[in-house]
């Protein structure tokens, strides 16, 4: 989703069909016919699929297919075709695990569910998909989304964790509270030594944290620290967005989150306003993380609202 022109201008458009997406557009406004699905073998029988929206992980084997995230609804057929093209199995996508509710990760739930897949997600993913609401960083970033149709809702939900036993692997989804959203799951493929981080770890620069939907930088840091201390050093890391990564990339990202949070916390302690922090360019030393999606000012807003517990005055619910 970060390939083309102005991501920000596209972000401003609200997804109409069912979901908000954190990097997004009205599904029917976008010409998905041009999108190609790129498939990369990560390890063993685990593949990474890139198209438009969040990265997909796929376990493809004799028992069938499990995918983590499903991008946008109009891409479902292409995703199915790409998986079939691997010529490993003719069996269908039996399970879809959502890393969180945003439309660029869960937008394909409807067609996959209609095609017979069972959608699994953390409790809060279903709750947020069920009703209309807003996502945002509590200040200048705000995106409204509509309620998802019933068929797109996860039919199996979990509070803390769930394990799918398929293709000789115990695929485990573990909830990390209050990170990118309040319903994030990180998905582990222990036999193949692969992890899908959802949007708790992304490669587009300063991360979007959906403070309005219960996300926080503190939770994101906690998730990344827990994961990076527990996983083997050579684990292959699929980020929510961006290229296949390793633990060094995760550590650099975590370091940035901790350092920038500390700087903003210090400014809060000194009773500085958000505007003063922007004027003083307090995140200038981390300029290389400034991206098309979030520049330093938007990340100051995110950190300020996260650290002060402000979810934004425009909030509709929570």
Count Cβ atoms within 10 A of the Cβ of residue 190 and give its class: 0-12 exposed, 13-18 middle, 19 or more buried: middle
Q: Which of the stretches 81-89, 95-103, 228-236, 270-278 binds Zn ion when contact is defined by CB under 5 A?
A: 95-103
Candidates 74-82, 83-91, 100-108, 246-254 — which segment interacts with Zn ion by CB under 5 A?
100-108
Cβ nearer to Zn ion, comparing 182 with 199: 199
Handedness of CA 246, 249, 255, 260 (dihedral sign): negative
CB-count burial class (<10 Å; 0-12, 13-18, 19+) for 197? buried
Residues 6+ positions from 159 with CB-CB distance below 8 Å: 122, 123, 175
- Give the interface segment with Zn ion, choosing from 26-34, 38-46, 97-105, 119-127 (CB under 5 A): 97-105
* Gap between the Cα atoms of 100 and 53, Å rounded: 13
User: What is the four-CA torsion angle of 96, 43, 239, 205, rounded to 10 degrees?
Assistant: -160
Take residue 29 and report the two structure tokens written for it. Answer: 């406004």
Beta pairing, strands 194-196 & 185-189: antiparallel
Rounded to a whole number of angstroms, the minimum distance from the CB of residue 128 to Zn ion is 11
Span of 19-27, 142-150, 229-237, 255-263 interacting with Zn ion by CB under 5 A: 19-27
Spatial strand order of the sheet with 93-97 comes to: 38-43, 46-50, 56-61, 64-68, 93-97, 118-122, 156-158
DSSP 36: -
CA dist., res. 88 & res. 70, Å (int): 20
Supply the minimum distance, in Å, between the C-beta of residue 99 and Zn ion: 8
Q: How many residues line the site for Zn ion (CB under 5 A)?
A: 3
CB of 266 to Zn ion, least distance (A): 28
Contacts of 134 (CB under 8 A, 6+ apart): 20, 142, 143, 144, 145, 212, 314, 315, 316
Can you tell me which of 7, 22, 186, 187 binds Zn ion, judged by CB under 5 A?
22
Q: Which of residues 168-207 bind Zn ion (CB under 5 A)?
A: 199
> Residue 100 CB, nearest distance to Zn ion (Å)?
6
Among 30, 102, 278, 311, binds Zn ion (CB under 5 A): 102
**Residue 22 Cβ vs Zn ion, minimum distance, rounded to whole Å:** 4
Which of the residues 223 through 282 are near Zn ion (CB under 5 A)? none
69 lies in the binding site for Zn ion (CB under 5 A): no
CB closer to Zn ion, 23 vs 61: 23
Choose one: 15-23, 80-88, 114-122, 272-280; the region binding Zn ion (CB under 5 A): 15-23
For residue 81, the minimal CB distance to Zn ion (Å) is 25
Contact footprint for Zn ion (CB under 5 A): 22, 102, 199
């Amino acid at each position: 989703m970060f390939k083309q022109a102005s991501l920000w201008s596209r972000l401003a458009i609200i997804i109409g069909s069912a979901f908000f997406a954190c990097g997004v557009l009205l599904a029917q406004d976008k010409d998905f016919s041009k999108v190609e699905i790129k498939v990369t073998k990560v390890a063993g029988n685990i593949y990474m699929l890139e198209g438009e929206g969040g990265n997909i992980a796929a376990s493809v084997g004799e028992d069938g297919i499990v995918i983590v995230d499903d991008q946008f609804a109009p891409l479902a057929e292409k995703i199915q075709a790409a998986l079939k093209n691997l010529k490993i199995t003719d069996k269908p996508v039996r399970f879809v695990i959502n890393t969180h509710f945003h439309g660029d990760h869960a937008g394909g739930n409807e067609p996959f569910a209609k095609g017979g897949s069972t959608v699994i997600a953390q409790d809060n993913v279903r709750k947020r998909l069920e009703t209309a609401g807003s996502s945002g960083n509590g200040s200048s970033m705000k995106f409204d989304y509509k309620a998802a149709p019933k068929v797109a809702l996860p039919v199996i939900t979990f509070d803390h964790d769930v394990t799918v036993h398929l293709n000789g692997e115990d695929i485990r989804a573990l909830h990390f509270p209050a990170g990118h959203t309040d319903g994030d799951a990180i998905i582990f493929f222990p036999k193949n030594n692969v992890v899908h981080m959802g949007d708790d770890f992304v490669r587009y620069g300063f991360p979007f944290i959906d403070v309005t939907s219960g996300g926080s930088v503190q939770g994101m840091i906690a998730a990344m620290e827990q994961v990076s201390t527990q996983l083997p050093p050579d684990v292959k890391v699929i980020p929510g967005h961006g290229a296949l990564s390793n633990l060094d990339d995760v550590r650099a990202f975590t370091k940035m989150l901790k350092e920038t949070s500390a700087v903003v916390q210090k400014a809060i302690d000194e009773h500085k306003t958000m505007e003063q922090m922007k004027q003083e360019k307090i995140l200038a030393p981390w300029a290389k993380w400034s991206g098309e999606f979030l520049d330093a000012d938007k990340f100051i807003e995110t950190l300020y609202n996260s650290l002060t517990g402000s979810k934004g005055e425009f909030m509709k619910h929570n």
